[in-house]
């Protein structure tokens, strides 16, 4: 695997800054923060946009011309930055925590914590993403996208399986909860 150079990544990232921010913390809640995300996960996502495994009108075209070296450098650059913390509004704490830590045994939603970790830190070795600090709105959009099958680049359907049985209420609560972890 190519080892990324964060300094070269900073130069390649110039066209990305308008959406993902000067420090990897995107100004709009619709656009994901990339700061502090695991390099393994970032690399997989950029490769998936490039190959067509993950489809998004903006990102598919942004990733199309990136070389393997660019991808490795960009992943090294963004993963070395610091994510700005999020906060959980009080009304989402109870249900959000329950779904995150235990899932929903009746409907078969698995505990998110099992893969994304007790503090939402993910697992870099397995390219499982960090979720803590991410914009709640972006998280909710992704969960709905896995649920409908529109986002289908998760290996072994890990996330489509998790999201399939979630209600809108559970998605809203867990998205806000994990953003503030």
Which residues are near ligand HEM by CB under 6 A?
Answer: 15-16, 18-20, 31-32, 34, 42, 44-46, 54, 56, 58-59, 62, 74, 99, 109-110, 112, 114-116, 128-129, 131, 139, 142-143, 153-154, 158-159, 162, 174
Count of helix runs (H) and strand runs (E) in the chain: 10, 0
Q: HEC string of 18-42?
A: HHHCCCCCCCCCCCCCCCCCCHHHH
Measured from the CB of residue 47, what is the shortest distance to ligand HEM in angstroms? 10
Which residue lies nearer to ligand HEM by CB, 6 or 110? 110
Q: Based on CB atoms, which residue is closest to ligand HEM, 67 or 91?
A: 67
91/95 with CB nearer ligand HEM:
95
Contact 124, 17 (CB under 8 A): no
Give min distance, CB of 116 to ligand HEM, in A: 6
């Amino acid at each position: 695997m190519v080892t990324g150079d964060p300094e070269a990544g900073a130069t390649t990232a110039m066209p990305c800054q308008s959406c993902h921010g000067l420090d990897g913390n995107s100004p709009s809640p619709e656009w994901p923060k990339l700061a502090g995300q695991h390099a393994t996960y970032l690399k997989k996502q950029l490769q998936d946009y490039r190959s067509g495994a993950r489809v998004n009108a903006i990102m598919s075209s942004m990733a199309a011309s990136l070389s393997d070296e660019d991808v490795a450098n960009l992943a090294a650059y963004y993963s070395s930055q610091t994510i700005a913390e999020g906060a959980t509004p009080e009304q989402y704490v109870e249900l959000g925590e329950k779904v995150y830590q235990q899932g929903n045994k009746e409907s078969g939603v698995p505990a998110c914590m099992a893969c994304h970790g007790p503090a939402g830190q993910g697992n870099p070795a397995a390219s499982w993403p960090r979720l803590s600090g991410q914009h709640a709105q972006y998280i909710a959009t992704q969960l709905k996208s896995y649920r409908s099958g529109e986002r289908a680049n998760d290996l072994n359907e890990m996330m489509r399986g998790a999201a399939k049985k979630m209600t809108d209420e559970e998605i809203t609560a867990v998205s806000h909860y994990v953003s503030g972890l």
